Amino acid sequence: MLITRSYGQQPAPQRQYSEVMYHKIKPGHTLEEALAIEKEWKKIHQVQLDNGHISGWFVISKYLSSNPDRQAYDYVTIKNFTDFAVFGNSYPESHLEKTFGSTTKDKWADLLKRTGEVQEGIKVEIWEGVDAVWNEKQLSPDKSPIWVIDLMRVKDGKDAEYVAMEKDMKKLHQERIKMNNITGWNLAALKYPGGSENGYNYATVNYFGNAKEMGDTRYGEAFQKVMAGQDVNKLVSRIYQTRDLVRQEIYILREFAVKQPALAAK
């Protein structure tokens, strides 16, 4: 799906990955119950951030989706990391002990039990960051509560051309940031699991501060400023020659843990 920004980490690492888990709320339970459980998981992830095990953790709930199976999943958790070995050791014992203290075993078992009663993780994906641009003045994730995610299927043999096109479009997103239209944009590639049955293999995310900005993306205005004299129709044609837009989804940021203590406390 995406690579989210790792707040408080400068400079950005050469490579960054995201473990993206899709969650389905079980019958008889609510999103509010699931989010209450996620607040407890946040304590563990904050310890992992402080120890450099991960570089960010986010919870987003699905608001709109073009997916015809609208009940496929309800919310998503995203864990950023720079060392792929993290995926093989997601929750080191030392981090659990620092979170739970002397009753680690019982509290960890209880958290897993209560989590399983409310929701189930139905799918996991690993994404790798390709490119991104951010408003460096927007330091807190809660300044970007709306995420518009486009999931693309890049055509066979068109990967290099598609990525080059997105990198060329990056200046449009930079201009939109200057206009206070978006707070950030990123491009990610699906690393695992592969297979054409996924339907998509790349994703872009536009981050918005509010619904008004989302309603007016200001592409046309930005295009005239940074690509004056170019034919917008040719640009659109170039885009569709490299990929198909498989799905668009809109999410709302619900919870997060970041490296900076002030933001984490918030």
Task: Give the tens place of pLDDT for each residue, 50-104.
Answer: 999 999 999 999 999 998 887 789 999 999 999 988 888 899 999 999 999 989 9
pLDDT tens per residue across span 131-153? 999 998 876 899 999 999 999 99
Q: Do the two domains 17-125+252-258 and 131-251 of this chain adopt the same fold?
A: yes
Q: Where are the domains of the chain?
A: 17-125+252-258, 131-251
Three-state DSSP class for residue 83: coil
State the pLDDT at residue 55: 92
Average confidence score pLDDT of the chain: 89
Tell me, rounded to whole angstroms, the distance of Cα 167 from its chain centroid.
Answer: 19
Position 14 confidence tier, pLDDT thresholds 50, 70, 90 = low
CA distance 21 to 58: 11
How much is the pLDDT for 193?
A: 94
Q: What is d(CA 238, CA 6) in angstroms, rounded to the nearest whole number?
A: 31
CATH no. of 131-251: 3.30.70.100
Residue 139 is predicted with a pLDDT of 67
Report the alpha-carbon distance of residue 158 to residue 148 in Å, rounded. Answer: 24
With contact defined as beta carbons under 8 Å apart, do 43 and 265 qualify? no
Structure-token pair, residue 214: 């989302």
Q: What is the pLDDT of residue 211?
A: 93
Buried b (16+ CB within 10 A) or exposed e, 201-214: bbbbbbbbbeeebb
Return left, alpha or beta for 47; rule: phi > 0 is left, psi -120 to 50 is alpha, else beta: alpha
| Per-residue pLDDT reduced to its tens digit, 151-162 | 999 999 999 999
Percentage, residues of the chain above pLDDT 70: 91
pTM, 2 dp = 0.90
The number of residues in the chain equals 266
For the cut 90, the answer to whether the pLDDT of residue 12 exceeds it is no
Residue 266: its pLDDT value, please?
Answer: 44
Per the omega criterion (within 30 degrees of 0), is the bond before 68 cis?
no
Token digits of residue 167 = 């990198």
Question: Which comes out higher in pLDDT, residue 231 or 38?
Answer: 38
What CATH number is given for 17-125+252-258 in this structure? 3.30.70.100
CB 119 within 8 A of CB 34: yes
State the pLDDT at residue 236. Answer: 77
Q: Please name the residue that has the structure tokens 């680690």.
A: 104
pLDDT digits (tens, 9 = 90+) for 190-207: 999 988 888 999 999 999
